[in-house]
């Protein structure tokens, strides 16, 4: 295993305010010092790699942004040493170039951020992550259509004369003499909410020990098993308790996939294209929601088929989990540099790019663990004065288990900034009010007297706009930046929440005028999708340092699902009675949306273009 003790040296000219050191710890090294570090790294490697290739890769990393400029720090060659120039002129002999013409084309294609720069293995990983996201959205949407029928079928409600559900539950028997007033609505809310509570309490957190021991592929495999078993079991349920249990299993899969898939994408893809590919998580969640609404329309008379068919994307997901390579960052974190290099050779077009990333990732992990970074003058390490030295030693070695890493999320200031920033963006997504329409729209409209057929078509249009608008983020994220998109989205949603509330109550307690409500809702979701829809999960996957990425993402997802579960519990209770109920409900969420925008403006700081993971320095992410 390579030596990881040197950390930032004097040659690095360490400066806690130099944010680029997190991206490129050796950016200030002279050619001689860099060469010395490369030799030291190579001597501790036990892998088959050409040392000259490693040197060229390291120098390529150092000059990544201005490869074709002369190095002002480079001294003239001495004693027969070959001069290496990184100018690419046809007049230069091959041995004087840092990269060949073929390598230059590959690097330029990579810097362009074009999708054709992805290798076959990268595309397979992208497809696998997309299937995980589709399964996520389909799982969330399947219950929305089934909510119209399963409460009556499982005897927690009965039909009224106008076709809506009367929330007076049976005690589990089929006798109408044993009614429990209002219990049915509580059970309905609980069955809907348990998926998100399970994701919050179990699913989001179980990925950390799984990935620490077995890797990211194994965690994704376990999530896929839950995603397969939950819908199949739910389709055979005969009581609300059985459905509750199956929804719990689905929730574990939901939380696990949300925690691990964005992390895989953030670690595998090169920085020039990573921003757009991280968009794929929420984009394909939206595609999954659209497929879920489509299946709800097809099987509108069978709630069991609506729920059960959500297992479909889990089948190819489980198959591909055996095919995709492991994250090279995770392998290097475990000291498995030989395997990491083989994976990088699959993920990059040329061996030079693989060697570049091998050395760069090693230096970034080493830099993040170094005492100079953890205990600089800005006070990044604030656990306890008497215990600080032992804590630094623990971090240099790497926190060994889940229970060691969780407290360090809050006691190390750099991690704490990430906790605050990721929590704010996740809460902002729930405060936007989108899930009122996404998860509970059928029930809300049914309570208002809208026929089930028109109800389902409304959800179909809602999901279609969500999927299309989420896809547009591919063209916006690297142009405008994460923070700008999120703030713009939250600000523009505010008036539409108010307008929707007034429109839904315009007819008093009667059915709303759909001609006024539907356009407002569709515009609202079109504004939501590119900002508050996409940014939170991709941002949370980026902001935590390597040693805390799994547990940090688990925390962020847990916060998101906790608020989603609370929403699923509260909204049905809120809309079951009262006058001007939607005006009050959506007005309250308009206020929460405004609060979310203020919190994002105060606490979210981040690069406005694509940067490597190391450059997501939390001095820039959030200032407290």
List, for residues 121-159, the tens digit of each pLDDT value.
999 999 999 999 999 999 988 888 888 889 888 888 776
Predicted pLDDT at 444: 61
Checking if the pLDDT of 356 tops 60, the result is: yes
Neighbours of 235 (CB within 10 A): 21
List, for residues 287-344, the tens digit of each pLDDT value.
999 999 999 889 988 999 999 999 999 999 999 998 999 999 999 888 889 999 999 9
Cα 447 to Cα 147, 169, 430, distances in angstroms:
12, 17, 23
User: Nearest 5°: CA angle at 84, between 80 and 85?
Assistant: 140
The pair of three-digit structure tokens given for residue 453, joined into one six-digit string: 């057929």
CA 114 to chain CA centroid, nearest Å: 22
**Which is nearest to 95 in space by CA: 81, 78, 114?**
81
The pair of three-digit structure tokens given for residue 37, joined into one six-digit string: 């570090």
List, for residues 35-71, the tens digit of each pLDDT value.
888 888 888 877 888 888 888 888 888 876 555 544 4
Spatial separation of the C-alpha atoms in residues 252 and 200, rounded to whole Å = 8
Reported pTM: 0.80
**Which is nearest to 268 in space by CA: 402, 385, 388, 127?**
127
Does domain 120-330+409-621 fall under CATH 3.40.50.620? My reply is no
Enumerate long-range contacts of 212-218, CB under 8 Å, 24 or more apart: 212/401, 212/402, 212/550, 215/326, 215/327, 215/330, 215/331, 216/260, 216/263, 216/264, 216/267, 216/326, 216/327, 216/330, 217/321, 217/324, 217/326
List, for residues 188-239, the tens digit of each pLDDT value.
889 989 999 999 999 999 988 888 888 899 999 999 999 999 999 999 999 9
Spatial separation of the C-alpha atoms in residues 218 and 321, rounded to whole Å = 8
Domain boundary assignment for the chain: 120-330+409-621
């Amino acid at each position: 295993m390579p030596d990881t003790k040197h950390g930032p040296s004097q040659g690095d000219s360490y400066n806690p305010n130099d944010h680029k050191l997190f991206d490129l710890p050796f950016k200030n090294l002279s050619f001689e010092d860099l060469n010395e570090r490369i030799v030291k790294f190579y001597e501790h490697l036990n892998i088959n790699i050409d040392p000259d290739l490693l040197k060229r890769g390291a120098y390529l990393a150092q000059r990544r942004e201005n490869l074709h400029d002369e190095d002002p720090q480079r001294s003239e060659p001495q004693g027969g040493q070959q001069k290496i120039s990184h100018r690419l002129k046809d007049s230069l002999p091959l041995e004087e170039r840092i990269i060949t013409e073929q390598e230059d084309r590959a690097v330029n294609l990579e810097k362009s951020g074009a999708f054709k720069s992805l290798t076959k293995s990268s595309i397979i990983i992208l497809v696998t992550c997309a299937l995980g996201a589709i399964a996520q959205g389909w799982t969330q949407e399947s219950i929305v259509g089934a909510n119209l029928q399963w409460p009556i079928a499982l005897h927690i409600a009965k039909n009224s004369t106008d076709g809506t559900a009367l929330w007076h539950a049976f005690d589990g028997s089929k006798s109408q003499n044993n009614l429990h007033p209002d219990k049915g609505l509580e059970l309905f809310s609980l069955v809907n909410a348990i998926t998100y509570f399970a994701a919050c309490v179990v699913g989001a957190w179980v990925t950390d020990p799984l990935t620490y021991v077995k890797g990211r592929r194994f965690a994704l495999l376990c999530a896929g098993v839950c995603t397969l078993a939950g819908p199949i079991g739910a389709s055979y349920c005969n009581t609300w308790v059985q459905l509750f249990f199956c929804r719990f299993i689905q929730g574990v899969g939901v939380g696990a996939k949300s925690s691990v898939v964005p992390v895989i994408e953030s670690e595998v893809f090169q920085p020039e294209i990573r921003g757009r590919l991280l968009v794929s998580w929420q984009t394909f969640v939206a595609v999954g929601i659209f497929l879920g609404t489509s299946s709800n329309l097809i099987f509108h008379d069978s709630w069991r088929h609506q729920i059960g068919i959500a297992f479909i994307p889990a089948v190819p997901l489980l198959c591909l989990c055996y095919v995709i390579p492991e994250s090279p960052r995770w392998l290097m974190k475990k000291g498995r540099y030989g395997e990491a290099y083989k994976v990088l050779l699959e993920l990059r077009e040329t061996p030079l790019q693989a060697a570049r990333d091998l050395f760069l990732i090693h230096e970034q992990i080493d830099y993040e663990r170094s005492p100079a970074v953890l205990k600089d003058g800005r006070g990044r390490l604030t656990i306890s004065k008497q215990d600080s030295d032992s804590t630094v030693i623990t971090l240099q070695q790497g926190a060994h288990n889940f229970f060691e890493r969780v407290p360090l999320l809050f006691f190390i200031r750099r991690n704490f900034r990430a906790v605050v920033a990721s929590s704010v963006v996740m809460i902002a997504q729930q405060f936007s009010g989108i899930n009122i329409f996404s998860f509970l729209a059928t029930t809300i409209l049914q309570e208002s007297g809208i026929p089930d057929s028109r109800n389902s078509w409304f959800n179909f249009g809602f999901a279609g706009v969500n999927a299309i608008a989420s896809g547009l983020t591919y063209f916006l994220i690297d142009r405008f930046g994460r923070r700008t998109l999120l703030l713009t989205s939250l600000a523009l949603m505010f008036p539409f929440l108010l307008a929707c509330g007034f429109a839904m109550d315009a007819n008093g307690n009667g059915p709303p005028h759909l001609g006024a409500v539907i356009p407002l809702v569709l515009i609202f979701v079109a504004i939501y999708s590119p900002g508050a829809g996409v940014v939170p999960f991709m941002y949370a996957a980026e902001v935590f340092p390597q040693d805390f990425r799994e547990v940090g993402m688990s925390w962020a997802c847990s916060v998101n699902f906790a608020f989603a579960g609370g929403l699923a519990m509260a909204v049905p209770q809120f809309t079951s009675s009262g006058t001007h109920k939607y005006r009050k409900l959506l007005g309250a969420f308009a206020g929460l949306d405004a609060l979310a925008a203020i919190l994002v403006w105060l606490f979210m700081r981040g690069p406005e273009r694509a940067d490597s993971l190391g450059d997501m320095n939390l001095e820039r992410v959030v200032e407290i």
